[in-house]
Amino acid sequence: MKKFSGPRVTTGCALFIIIIMSGSGLYSAGYSKLAETFHTSMSHLGFYSMLLTISGIICSVSLTSLKQKITLKGVLTLDALVLYAVALCAKLLGDQLLTLLVFFISVGTTLSLGAHVVMTEIVSNWYVEKRAEKISLMLGCALIGQALYQSVGGYVFSHMELLDGWFLLYLVNGTLLLLINHFLIIATDPKDVGQEAFGIPATVDSAERAPTCGEAHCGLYRRKAFWLCLLGDWGLSGGVNFITTYATTFFARNGISLQVSAAILSCATISAAIFSFLNGRFLKWLKVKKYVALLLGSVILGNLMMIVYGILPQPIIIALIILFYGIGYSGAHCINIVSGIIFSAEDAADANSKISGLAMSGGLLLLSLSGYLVDHVGFAAVYLVIIALAVISLISYELALSVSPKEQN
């Protein structure tokens, strides 16, 4: 009997997503150098960075049709080619505007075509039992990858020019993705190599089988659960993008050095990674509704800590921020875990990619407004907006779980 390849594929997915998250990590690490390198202003830089979100939305919504044309393995190869494109532009075009635009597009493209949504689908194909635990471990690796490349990027960019660093890191990362895709992710579905998913029953009673979208004659866009999940993820996406983009600026404005501010953000990211590893257990212990309440409740408390910053002793407030950020944003891609509970197996992957892609508009909208709010009203106003969005997300997810025919409490 052929040895089950699930652990090998899952390891490959974890390594793949670590490298894919280099785009986000290098974006944070090199952001302060972008305006200087490409001879542009911070306001123009903010405008160009919208390409990241726009390209991510387009790729996420198009993922299903793209998989049908070039297969999921082909999508993973495409991720590597996108990284090579950044390296090539950095080397041949230098500080021309096209290089910057390709960089932003590459981050949005690879995050949509090689990170949470795609890796979640592959792991879900290989595991029925322990699926939530495997996905949580993989999503924790994504956060570790982001924190790792924040540190690696900071070191590389302090010892060489930004474009030279891009050429080196993107060339290496593109090659690593090709190797992982070939040697570890041997198949995106166990059926492709004559195996079955771990924990799949030998037979499924037709009376117990969840109805597929086709059988129920209900397209995703006509289902209440889809729109409720989209609203929930939309609010959460905006909050995550603001926190990761402006955290160092917030602490710096409160008298903390940029180096220490970056260290606090890294600690918060590592905290989120640790809790992400435990999310599978939390889901098993608390069941899905209480699990979602824990995540969104922590987001609310974390932002409250930012608002009352300065009232409590600094070490205590920073520790609480790291704690609540870790719990809350370990589930920043909550839809990746609950989609398999809310939607049927046939619909989950498609719903996941569409919701994740469309929800990026929440981040785009909040980032567009946040600069104005921070300059004219202050950080507290933005954190109040994030709290309101988190409340809306919590209500939306709870309602989605209630109306879903697959609700499992």
Mean pLDDT of 2-6: 91
Tell whether 215 is covered by a domain.
Answer: no
Mean pLDDT of 106-113: 91
The pLDDT, as a whole number, for residue 305 is 93
The pLDDT, as a whole number, for residue 57 is 84
241 shares a domain with 171:
no
Q: Is the pLDDT reported for residue 408 higher than 70? A: no
The pLDDT, as a whole number, for residue 9 is 97
Tell whether 283 is covered by a domain.
Answer: yes
Q: Is the pLDDT reported for residue 242 higher than 70? A: yes
Domain end marker among 199, 232, 247: 199
Place 270 in a pLDDT band, splitting at 50, 70 and 90.
Answer: confident
* Amino acid, single-letter form, for residue 64: T
100 shares a domain with 248:
no
Q: Find the CATH number of the domain harbouring 37.
A: 1.20.1250.20
H or E stretch including 378? none
Tell whether 348 is covered by a domain.
Answer: yes
Q: Which of 323-327, 341-345, 389-393 has the lowest mean pLDDT?
A: 341-345
Q: Is the pLDDT reported for residue 34 higher than 90? A: no
Tell whether 16 is covered by a domain.
Answer: yes
382: containing domain: 220-409
94 shares a domain with 9:
yes
Distance CA 294, CA 394 (A): 10
134 shares a domain with 242:
no
383 shares a domain with 279:
yes
The pLDDT, as a whole number, for residue 42 is 63
224 shares a domain with 195:
no
The tens digit of pLDDT for each residue in 183-220 reads 999 999 999 999 999 987 544 443 333 444 343 434 78
Counting beta carbons within 10 angstroms of the beta carbon of residue 227, is it exposed (0 to 12), middle (13 to 18) or buried (19 or more)?
middle
The pLDDT, as a whole number, for residue 203 is 46
Tell whether 208 is covered by a domain.
Answer: no
Domain end marker among 199, 229, 259: 199
Distance CA 101, CA 187 (A): 33
Q: Is the pLDDT reported for residue 372 higher than 80? A: no
The pLDDT, as a whole number, for residue 364 is 66
The tens digit of pLDDT for each residue in 129-140 reads 888 788 888 888
Q: Is the pLDDT reported for residue 345 higher than 90? A: no
Closest to 67 (Cα-Cα) out of 125, 18, 14? 125
Q: Which of 21-30, 152-161, 394-403 has the lowest mean pLDDT?
A: 21-30
**Per-range mean pLDDT, top range of 113-117, 183-187, 267-271:** 183-187
| Helix, strand, or coil (residue 350) | helix
Q: Which residues pair with 127 in a beta bridge?
A: 198
Tell whether 337 is covered by a domain.
Answer: yes
Place 53 in a pLDDT band, splitting at 50, 70 and 90.
Answer: confident
250 shares a domain with 174:
no
The pLDDT, as a whole number, for residue 32 is 65
227 shares a domain with 188:
no
Full-model pTM: 0.77
The pLDDT, as a whole number, for residue 31 is 67
Tell whether 334 is covered by a domain.
Answer: yes
251 shares a domain with 189:
no
153 shares a domain with 10:
yes
Tell whether 213 is covered by a domain.
Answer: no
- How many angstroms separate the Cα of 370 from the Cα of each of 67, 122, 366? 35, 35, 6
Domain end marker among 135, 165, 199: 199
258 shares a domain with 168:
no
User: How many domains does the chain fold into?
Assistant: 2
Mean pLDDT of 316-335: 86
195 shares a domain with 71:
yes
The tens digit of pLDDT for each residue in 84-100 reads 999 999 999 999 999 99
Share of the chain above pLDDT 70, in %: 88
The pLDDT, as a whole number, for residue 204 is 43
